[in-house]
Amino acid sequence: MVDLSVELSGLKLDNPIIPASGTFGFGHEFAKFYDINMLGSISLKGTTQEERFGNPTPRIAECTAGLINSVGLQNPGIDNVIKYQIPELEKYYNKKVIANISGFSLDEYKYCCEKIDKCDKVGIIEVNISCPNVHNGGMAFGTDAKNAAEVTKEIKKVTTKPIYIKLTPNVTNIVEIAKACEDAGADGISMINTLLGMRINPKTKKPIIANKMGGFSGPAIFPVALRMIYQVYEAVNIPIIGMGGVASAKDVIEMMLAGASAVQVGASNLKNPYACKEIIEDLPVQMEKYNIKSLKEIIGGAH
């Protein structure tokens, strides 16, 4: 009998599999396909203070082994999420969730985090300072160690729940930024968000995406994510939620060996609504194959 359970800042998960923010909505649609209670947790759609329509269309461009998205943080706003989305999710998901918060200013981050902190259903607040799809958005904070630390420090003043800072890979030194967040009081790190990419249509000779560029995700970025998680694990003493191109149970094991305490699955959900379910079902098989008795015991095992 293998042990799939893991822990994130005191929050116990039955398994490490978490659908990544923006790829699972608020869980409502996926609950029609299977019993989502099998998930370790769910990272909710990125939420801002006000309702956002997002970026103009087209927003999606397919790539080899991945896709580019420029949705632009479309969401119903923090009040709607607390009043309607989370209570609706409670009807068919009985575990704690991860609230993903985005913002365009320090005040907006603080406002949203303070509000969601009072929500019992939320176990962890994931602060997205890494979105590449919005002008003057979170990535302005995520590409500078000093700014990342300031956001972390200010959010910690108004919250009681564990704060995980979601980092962008579009930087020269992600280790420096992760360390700055830890020093400022972050309880954990989520990484990596999407890489910045684009596609051009040879017929029109114009960028496919209306916003020109967007976030590149999918299996193609897995080696980059793995490398960055490995580097950050060696520098910090707080848990890492790993993500970036995860498409199989074997990928999950590899990412945990690099240093992730739990793993988010993103783009795979858009291609296959059963992706997380299939990964969870295959994890015990892969653990037996690699003679792994407990997932907790392999975290950082490649170091």
Residue 95 domain flag: yes
Q: 66-95, pLDDT tens digit by residue?
A: 999 999 999 999 999 999 999 999 999 999
What are the helix (H) ranges across the chain? Answer: 78-80, 86-90, 106-117, 139-142, 145-157, 174-183, 222-235, 249-258, 267-271, 275-289
Residue 269 near residue 276, CB atoms below 8 Å: yes
State mean pLDDT over 148-161. 97
Identify the band that residue 134 occupies on the pLDDT scale cut at 50, 70 and 90. low
Give the Cα separation of 229 and 7 in Å (integer): 17
H/E element holding 134?
none
Residue 1 domain flag: no
pLDDT greater than 80 at residue 131: no
Q: What pTM did the predictor assign? A: 0.97
H/E element holding 217?
strand 214-217
Which pLDDT value is given to residue 242?
Answer: 98
pLDDT greater than 80 at residue 136: no
Structurally, the chain folds into a number of domains equal to: 1
Residue 241 domain flag: yes
Residue 118 domain flag: yes
Residue 29 domain flag: yes
Residue 76 domain flag: yes
Question: What positions carry a catalytic annotation?
Answer: 131
Residue type, 177: I
Identify the band that residue 132 occupies on the pLDDT scale cut at 50, 70 and 90. low
CATH number at residue 98: 3.20.20.70
Q: Write the CA distances from 190 to 27, 50, 124, 156, 253, integer angstroms.
A: 20, 24, 11, 16, 17
Identify the band that residue 141 occupies on the pLDDT scale cut at 50, 70 and 90. confident
The angle formed by the CA atoms of residues 275, 40 and 262, to the nearest 5 degrees, is 90
Give the Cα separation of 36 and 30 in Å (integer): 7
Which pLDDT value is given to residue 177?
Answer: 98
Q: Tell me what the pLDDT averaged over the chain comes to.
A: 96
Q: 270-281, pLDDT tens digit by residue?
A: 999 999 999 999
21 φ/ψ angles, rounded to the nearest 5 degrees = -55, 135
**What is the extent of the structural domain holding 180?**
6-298
Give the Cα separation of 116 and 301 in Å (integer): 34
Residue 129 near residue 139, CB atoms below 8 Å: yes
Residue for token digits 């694990």?
233
Residue for token digits 């793993």?
263
Q: 206-248, pLDDT tens digit by residue?
A: 999 999 999 999 999 999 999 999 999 999 999 999 999 999 9
Residue 303 domain flag: no
